[in-house]
Amino acid sequence: MFPSKRNRAFAAEWDCQDGILIAWPHAGTDWAYMLDEVTACYVEMARAILNDDERLLIVAPDAQEVHDALGPDVDWQRIDIVELPTNDTWVRDYGPITVSNGGQLELADFTFNAWGMKFAADCDNLVTSRLAQRGAFKMPLANCRDMVLEGGSIETDGNGTVMTTTCCLTAPNRNDAMTREQMEAQLLQRLGCLKMLWLDHGGLVGDDTDGHIDTLARFAPGGVILYTGCDNPEDEHFEPLMRMEEQLKQFTDVDGNHYHLIKLPLPDPTFDEISRLPATYANFLVTNHQVLVPVYGQPRNDIKACELIGQAFPGRKIVGIDCRALICQHGSLHCATMQLPQGSLSHPIPNLEEL
C-alpha cells in the first residue's frame, strides 16, 4: 500500500544543486596499481564539474595530494577538501541521499557494506556521518542505518516514483531479514515516494554490484527513461537487455502514464586481463547546466550516446569524460560522484583549516 500523503520527496538528479561530492583515489585503494591513470580521470571529472555552477566537495586522506593533482589554475574558492580515510572511491554508494521532509532537506544515511560484504567498507560506511560531524552539510542527518542501501541502486523521476533492480536489492548480505515487499514499503516511506518499479531483467557482465540501476536505466525530465540496449544477437547481453526493454515498456508513473524510452548503445566489449568490464553510457552525471557522459574511446558509440543523452536533457551541455580508467575497477562516472541538492552544502565548511 502506498503512503497516503507525500511529506517527503526523493530529489531528482536534475534538480538545482549546490555541488558534487567525490572521493579522491589514493594508494590505499584498489587503484594503487594504476593510480596515475585514474587520478588523471578524476582531474578531468573535477575540472568539468567546476566549469559548471557547482561546488566540489572532495574526501581524501591527504589534501595535499589533491592540491598537487588539480594544480593552481582551478577555482579553489569553490573546492572544499575534507581529510577522511576511505576504502574506495565509489561515493555514489556511500554518500548521502537527500530527501525533503515536510519541506526541510534531510540527508538519509544508510548503511554501506560494500555490495553485500564483498570488500572492506569500514571507512566508507562512516564517510557521510563524519562529513556531517565536520559541518559539511546544512541540514540534519536522518539515521537510516538499520537498512543497507547503495545510492547507485535507486533512481527517481522526482515525481514520486523510484526505480530499482530486483537482483540488487534482494541480493544476499544486504537486507536478508526483509522480504521484497517489506523493503519496498520501507524505501517508499523513507524516500517519500509513492511507487516502486522493479526491473527483473538486465545486468552487465563484470558488474560486482549485483546489478545497479544506474548502469541500466535512468530517468530524465518529462517522463523519459534512457536505458542500455544491445542490437547484437551474438552479444551475451542481447537476451537479458531485450527482456529488460520489454519490461520498461510496461512501466508507468504515479499517474499511470507510460514513459518515453530512449535506447542507449552498449559500448563495444572491453576487457581486462581476465574478464569483460561493465562499460555503460547510462552511468552519466547530471549537473546544473551539463550532463557528464562516460566515454570509452569508441567514437561511433561515444558520439551516438552523447547525442541521445542530449535529446533527453535539452538546454544542458553534454561533456564526455574518458572513463576507460574507471571501468578497470568495474565502475564509471555516476558511481564516482554524488550530487548535493541546493541548500544542502555548507560553505565554507566550519574549521576546515583544522582538518
pLDDT at position 351: 58
Ordered structural domains, the chain, with CATH: 8-346 (3.75.10.10)
- Alpha carbon distance 313, 319 (integer Å): 12
* High-pLDDT (> 90) share of the chain, %: 88
Contact in structure between 23 and 48 (CB atoms under 8 Å): no
Query: Average of pLDDT values for 119-124?
Result: 97
pLDDT at 355 over 60: no
Contact in structure between 216 and 203 (CB atoms under 8 Å): yes
pLDDT at position 8: 62
What are the DSSP calls for 83-149, one per residue? Answer: E---S-S-TTTTS-EEEEETTEEEEEEEE--HHHHTS--TTGGGHHHHHHHTT-BSSPEEEEEEEE-
Closest CA to 294 of 12, 23, 48, 32: 48
Q: Per the structure block, which three cell numbers stand in for 109?
A: 544515511
pLDDT tens-digit map of 230-244: 999 999 999 999 999
- Alpha carbon distance 151, 154 (integer Å): 6
Q: What are phi and psi of 226, to 5 degrees?
A: -95, 135
pLDDT at 4 over 70: no
pLDDT at 158 over 60: yes
* High-pLDDT (> 70) share of the chain, %: 96
pLDDT at 1 over 60: no
Contacts of 205 (CB under 8 A, 6+ apart): 236, 237, 275, 276, 278
Query: Average of pLDDT values for 187-212?
Result: 95
pLDDT at 213 over 90: yes
pLDDT at 102 over 60: yes
Contact in structure between 239 and 223 (CB atoms under 8 Å): no
pLDDT tens-digit map of 14-27: 999 999 999 999 99
